[in-house]
């Protein structure tokens, strides 16, 4: 019975996610290759999975250090999903699409591919 309830909860979350707008902020370190790759990766993910339902702000930590300090950014690139209480953070090149989708509540955690 618990599994059925978990599926129902997830399906409701997916339904809710389809209706809400995602507020995302990607902190990068200038135009370095890893930052450029992260920007391309997250834009692709957003267009494929959140088309028309997201706002993505890209912040260069060198040009806007106050924003980075306020969010306590210690590594770049870092993606922050703005939530009411606690933000979610993703650090790195944003190449692991499955982990990003799980973190954005667009894919159930049990569908993650096992790490190698």
What is the count of structural domains for the chain? 1
Domain region containing 30: 21-107
At 83 the pLDDT is 72
Map tokens 């399906």 to a residue: 11
Give a yes or no: residue 74 inside a domain.
Answer: yes
Give a yes or no: residue 15 inside a domain.
Answer: no
**58, containing H or E segment:** strand 54-60
At 29 the pLDDT is 95
Give a yes or no: residue 1 inside a domain.
Answer: no
Give a yes or no: residue 113 inside a domain.
Answer: no
Give a yes or no: residue 10 inside a domain.
Answer: no
**In a structure prediction context, what are the per-residue pLDDT tens digits for the chain, which is 116 residues long?**
455 776 776 676 666 655 678 999 999 999 899 999 999 999 999 999 999 999 999 999 999 999 999 989 999 999 999 876 677 889 999 999 998 998 888 888 776 666 55
Judge whether 21 and 53 are in contact, CB under 8 Å: yes
Give a yes or no: residue 95 inside a domain.
Answer: yes
pTM of the prediction? 0.71
36 vs 53: CA distance, rounded Å: 22
Of 39, 31, 43, the closest CA to residue 93 belongs to 39
At 84 the pLDDT is 61
Judge whether 115 and 102 are in contact, CB under 8 Å: no
Give a yes or no: residue 11 inside a domain.
Answer: no
């Amino acid at each position: 019975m618990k599994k059925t309830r978990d599926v129902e909860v997830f399906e409701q979350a997916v339904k809710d996610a389809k209706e809400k707008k995602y507020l995302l902020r990607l902190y990068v370190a200038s135009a370095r290759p890893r930052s450029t790759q992260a920007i391309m990766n997250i834009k692709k993910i957003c267009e494929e999975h959140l088309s028309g339902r997201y706002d993505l702000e890209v912040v260069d930590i060198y040009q806007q250090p106050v924003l980075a300090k306020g969010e306590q950014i210690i590594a770049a690139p870092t993606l922050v999903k703005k939530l009411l209480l606690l933000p979610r953070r993703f650090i790195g090149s944003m190449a692991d699409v499955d982990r990003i989708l799980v973190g954005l509540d667009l894919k159930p955690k049990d569908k993650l591919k096992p790490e190698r």
